[in-house]
Each structure stands twice: as C-alpha cells, then as structure tokens.
Chain A
C-alpha cells in the first residue's frame, strides 16, 4: 500500500492525494516527511500539540505559482482559488486544504463553483 502511495508523489491526482500515512492522514506527496517523522518541517517541533503556522506551506509552495497553475479566463478570472475576488492571494492554505483532515473549498460557503482538480 505504501509503495503504491509513493507512486503518486510525482503525478498527484485529485481524490488520491489525502491518504493514511501510518496512523494519521497526510498528503501522498509529503510521504517522506511522514516516513522520517519530520513533523517539525511544518509544526516547528517534533511532537506537535498545536497547528502548524500559516506560513508553513509557503516554505515549499509559492502562492504566485499556484495562482498561475489555477488561473482562469474571461468571466471566471476572479474564481481562481489562489487569487480570488474576495481575498486575493491572502487566504491561508489550510482554510481550504487540510493536511490531516478533509476540507472543502471556502468558496463553497456561498457558491456552486466546481473545482474538479481540488485536492482534498
């Protein structure tokens, strides 16, 4: 099972991203962090008791690049989740993506938008 999970790390597919990493949920492409017990990479400490700070994800992921990847055109220009009408690029990652829990995009609170590539 774990070997299969590792296979996803290069080409991640929506819905297959959030998988059980031993006892807790985590993202398949973070497999190494789980294997090597590197909780501190995000939480700052090895045995975390609180959430990782909002800027943790940004150590590796760039909002600008993500915004480019999810860019939309025409009347959907402002429905880019990483650069959206209401909050620009300011939404902390974990408002929509949970590392250890399943989350829904923030937009869903009011809108019926479809994000078919959304990674739970």
Chain B
C-alpha cells in the first residue's frame, strides 16, 4: 500500500471518528498531498521541537553546510522538557573519567543499558549513541555548558560516568545550545504547532503544516502555514507523559492522579501523526516513573536531583515498618515499583522517606534549596524523624545500625547495593529527610528509527523518505527501562545523526 492509498484509508477512518476512542489531544491532524499546494515558507530542514535533539540537530546542520534550517516550537518558551530536566549526561571514556582513573568503555555502558532494558533494548542504536556520546558532550561544552568537576554514579550504572550541569538542570545545556543556534544562524520560531505532514505523490515527506501563532491548549489560535522542507523533516518532539489518556491507554495505572515531571507540551501528537503515516510503533507501554520524585512539590522540582545525588549514601525507609525496602541505586523501574508498594494498612499510598546525613547531603547545592523551600527537612535525631513521619522508632534505629555495619563492611547484605560510592559514609545525625513517590517521567516507546535517524515504515520496513526522528519520540532504544542520564546523550547524538543524514554527511 503506498502513501496515497494510506491517506484515503486514514480519511475513511476519520469518518468513523464518533465511534473511535476520543483522546484529549486536540483536532486530528492529517497528511495532505503536496500537489499544487501553496508553500508559505521554504527551508532546507524543518525541525519540530526545541529540546536537546532539535537544538543539536540545528547546530550540526549548519556545521554541514545547511543554508536554511528552522526549529518550530509548539510552546511559548524554547527547550521543551529538556529545559526542565536534571541535566545529567552519561558518556564513556570522557576526560573526567580519565582524570579520575575510572575504567569504562562503550561496551560496559551498553551492557549496563541492556541489563536495565531487560532484554528488549536496541543494542545497535545504544552502541551508536554510546560511541558518539563524548562528541555530543563536547558540543555542549563548546556552546558554553558548564559541568561539576566530578562524576556521579546513577542507579543501574556500574561505574561513575555521569556529568551534571553546574545549574543542576538541563537548562544548563539548552540555554547554551539555544544561544549557539542563534549565533550560527538557525532560525527559531515559538508558538508553532505541528499539524501534519505534506507528502509527495510517491509518499515522501515534502513539508509540514504549522499552526502559528499557537497558544497552548487553544486549538483555534493562529493560522495554518505550509512549509516546504527540501532536505527533510526532523521530528524531535519528546515523549507523551503529559497526555493522560494516551498513557492510560498503554498503562491504566498511570491516571491523572499520578504526578508527572514533564513539561506540559509533552503530549505526543507528532508521534501519533507519524504512526498514521506508517511509522512502526515500538514499546509504547513502557512508561517510566522517576523513583526520586517528591509528592511535596510539582514536576521535577528540587528533590529529584537531590535524591539522585544522595541515593548512593542514603537509606530509603518504609514508614510503616521503619525498614529499608529496596536497593537505593537499583534501576528506575525496580525502585519505582518498590516505592509504589509502600502503603498503609488500608492500602493507601504511604510515601517512603529517604534519610541522609546532612554532612553528605550539603555537598550538593540542591540540599540548600530543598530545605529552603520546605520540600525536605533537617532533624537532629532519629526520634524526631520517627515522630514526624509516624515510624516505629526501634526498627528504624535497628535499621540504621544495620546499614552502617554494611557501610563498614562494604557489603549490603540486605539488598546488594553497590557500596563503593558509600565508603565511610555512615548515616549519622544531623539528618535530612525527603519524601519519595514516583512521577511519570519518560516514555521508552515511540517510533522506530535506524542508526541514520530515519523513521521506518511498518509496511515496507524501509525508511520513510524525508522523515527523521530523534530523542524521546523514538521507541525501543532503551527497552523496558532507560537508565538515568542516558537520554541527553541519546537526544544529542541522534539529533546530530539526523542532521548529518539529511545533509548527506
């Protein structure tokens, strides 16, 4: 079946609308034919979305001689979800690893990711990304991104390999990349919502339709503009964690009552449009919740990075029992599942707490923020913690003593946590405490791409001409559960890859 047939079929399906599933996602977009169309604008490369992938692609495109590249951003502000993420960047064989004498390699990083992917990750793509992660890191540094002079070891990683921006946020990367884009001549346009593809007779993507100026959630705002993209279209629109109906269609437990760390624009309509065009849907049900999020603040907030930094030398305690209930640096899914099982006698959610020695917590700048904005608290004794969170004191005291013995021995007999990063870091007064409850964070699923960032057609298995995708909108790369700090390298590398593919580099 060719693309034009597909158009007909889709319009037929559209006619059945009333009986179909109604998604919150607004007016249904449809692809239209390029024949005889009036082009309002013409570019070489059209990039949809201004997160890590889109910005990296823009810079890389100019580097390879692109004369006209525009990044279209749906929201009023640039950066998408990337601008509010944790700013954690994993890469093997980096200068900091060499400086610290850490033995790492592409193979070791890929092996860690395959394990967390539980057998269904895409090894070829993971290898491609890990092999170019250092170059992507360099692109951010060249643009002016600044990182702490140390590496973190995140859950599921076998060695410390994670850089973090000095502002503890992805904005420490998106802002420099955005400035670099403007400097090198990438055009940026906000309030520009993708409305659908424009196809040639042969079914190749010739351009896109954009609604401009678009005001988020006002679907009638703005006008439709037809944009021709002679070298191709890159969809870099991120995940769909904010689309409650769509995520519930995949996983009914992810109701509106479950929090979400994502920017509001992460609603997935461009991904759905690629499916309508024939892209292969992969792993849509693998939706990851962040086990380091707090029920005491909105979105990613401050606690997320605080907890990510402190988990290696902290204990997570079930308030009902006073006992640990997980390896604090297991992969995200393992921990999120364990936290969701923390409930009171009536089965209602009872967010567990994380206890950290203040002496260790204050080493990370987020500690000050967490205490200042009342989303974490300082205590002088375990008694005070037990009283505040209604925890049985004796088991709690026993647990802390037991854990401190594991620190001394360098061996966690309870949950097998890697104690290398906890050496000599005993849990001792004064303490800081935050509450934990998972929030929907990342969609492992999306469209299938190859190592050229080309979107594959479900009928032919071949690339859909003119269509590229990069970042969270792609699926299958990480398998069941993505390791923390592996999304930024993926977005950057695949964005750069897409730009090179389009420029024939």
**Partner-B contacts on A (CB < 8 A):** 50-51, 53-54, 75, 78, 85-88, 90-92, 95, 106, 108-113
Contact B300 A110, beta carbon cutoff 8 Å:
yes
CB of B255 within 8 Å of the partner chain: no
A53 to B214 alpha-carbon distance, docked (Å) = 11
The chain A residue sitting closest to B215, CB to CB, is: A51
Contact B76 A78, beta carbon cutoff 8 Å:
no
- Which one of B77, B190, B215, B373 lies within 8 Å of A113 (CB-CB)? B373
Contact B301 A110, beta carbon cutoff 8 Å:
yes
Contact A87 B297, beta carbon cutoff 8 Å:
no
Q: Which residues of B contact A108 (CB under 8 A)?
A: 298
A86 to B81 alpha-carbon distance, docked (Å) = 10
Q: Find residues 174-191 in chain B having any chain A CB closer than 8 Å to their own CB.
A: 174-175, 178, 190-191
Contact A111 B368, beta carbon cutoff 8 Å:
no
CB of B78 within 8 Å of the partner chain: yes
Contact B79 A87, beta carbon cutoff 8 Å:
yes
Contact B300 A95, beta carbon cutoff 8 Å:
no
Least Cβ–Cβ distance between B410 and chain A, in angstroms? 35
Q: Which residues of A contact B365 (CB under 8 A)?
A: 75
Contact B299 A112, beta carbon cutoff 8 Å:
no
The chain A residue sitting closest to B170, CB to CB, is: A86
Q: Which residues of B contact A110 (CB under 8 A)?
A: 84, 297-301
A85 to B167 alpha-carbon distance, docked (Å) = 8
Q: Which residues of B contact A109 (CB under 8 A)?
A: 264, 298-299
Q: Find residues 400-442 in chain B having any chain A CB closer than 8 Å to their own CB.
A: none
A52 to B447 alpha-carbon distance, docked (Å) = 37
- Which one of B76, B213, B297, B300 lies within 8 Å of A53 (CB-CB)? B213
Contact A75 B368, beta carbon cutoff 8 Å:
yes
CB of B169 within 8 Å of the partner chain: yes
CB of B383 within 8 Å of the partner chain: no
Contact B297 A111, beta carbon cutoff 8 Å:
yes
29 A–B contacts, CB within 8 A, in A order: A50-B221, A51-B221, A53-B213, A54-B76, A54-B191, A54-B213, A75-B365, A75-B368, A85-B167, A86-B79, A86-B174, A86-B175, A87-B83, A87-B171, A88-B175, A88-B178, A90-B78, A91-B77, A95-B76, A95-B77, A108-B298, A109-B298, A110-B298, A110-B301, A111-B298, A111-B302, A112-B297, A112-B375, A113-B373
A91 to B190 alpha-carbon distance, docked (Å) = 10
CB of B343 within 8 Å of the partner chain: no
Beyond A51-B221, A91-B76, 10 extra complex contacts between A and B, CB < 8 Å: A75-B372, A87-B77, A90-B78, A90-B178, A92-B77, A95-B76, A109-B298, A110-B299, A110-B300, A110-B301
Contact B77 A90, beta carbon cutoff 8 Å:
yes
Contact A86 B264, beta carbon cutoff 8 Å:
no
The chain B residue sitting closest to A85, CB to CB, is: B171
Q: Find residues 343-374 in chain B having any chain A CB closer than 8 Å to their own CB.
A: 365, 368-369, 372-374
Q: Which residues of A contact B298 (CB under 8 A)?
A: 108-111
CB-CB contacts of B75-104 with A at 8 A, as 1s and 0s?
A: 011110001100000000000000000000
Q: Which residues of B contact A88 (CB under 8 A)?
A: 175, 178
Q: Which residues of A contact B372 (CB under 8 A)?
A: 75
Contact A87 B368, beta carbon cutoff 8 Å:
no
Contact B169 A85, beta carbon cutoff 8 Å:
yes
Contact A86 B301, beta carbon cutoff 8 Å:
no
A113 to B301 alpha-carbon distance, docked (Å) = 11
Contact A86 B84, beta carbon cutoff 8 Å:
yes
A106 to B167 alpha-carbon distance, docked (Å) = 19
Which 9 pairs, one residue from A and one from B, show the smallest C-beta to C-beta distance?
A110-B299, A110-B298, A86-B171, A87-B77, A86-B83, A112-B373, A92-B76, A95-B76, A85-B171
Contact A86 B373, beta carbon cutoff 8 Å:
no
Least Cβ–Cβ distance between B321 and chain A, in angstroms? 30
The chain A residue sitting closest to B263, CB to CB, is: A109
A111 to B365 alpha-carbon distance, docked (Å) = 16
The chain A residue sitting closest to B172, CB to CB, is: A85
Q: Which residues of B contact A91 (CB under 8 A)?
A: 76-77
A50 to B171 alpha-carbon distance, docked (Å) = 32
Least Cβ–Cβ distance between B452 and chain A, in angstroms? 32
Least Cβ–Cβ distance between B434 and chain A, in angstroms? 14
CB-CB contacts of B286-299 with A at 8 A, as 1s and 0s?
A: 00000000000111
The chain B residue sitting closest to A78, CB to CB, is: B167
Q: Which residues of A contact B84 (CB under 8 A)?
A: 86, 110
The chain A residue sitting closest to B223, CB to CB, is: A50
Least Cβ–Cβ distance between A56 and chain B, in angstroms? 12
Q: Which residues of A contact B221 (CB under 8 A)?
A: 50-51
Least Cβ–Cβ distance between A45 and chain B, in angstroms? 15
Least Cβ–Cβ distance between B168 and chain A, in angstroms? 9
Least Cβ–Cβ distance between B81 and chain A, in angstroms? 11
A50 to B299 alpha-carbon distance, docked (Å) = 31
A88 to B301 alpha-carbon distance, docked (Å) = 18
Contact B77 A111, beta carbon cutoff 8 Å:
no
Q: Which residues of A contact B301 (CB under 8 A)?
A: 110-111
The chain B residue sitting closest to A94, CB to CB, is: B76
A92 to B75 alpha-carbon distance, docked (Å) = 10
The chain A residue sitting closest to B304, CB to CB, is: A110
Least Cβ–Cβ distance between A97 and chain B, in angstroms? 12
Q: Which residues of A contact B190 (CB under 8 A)?
A: 92
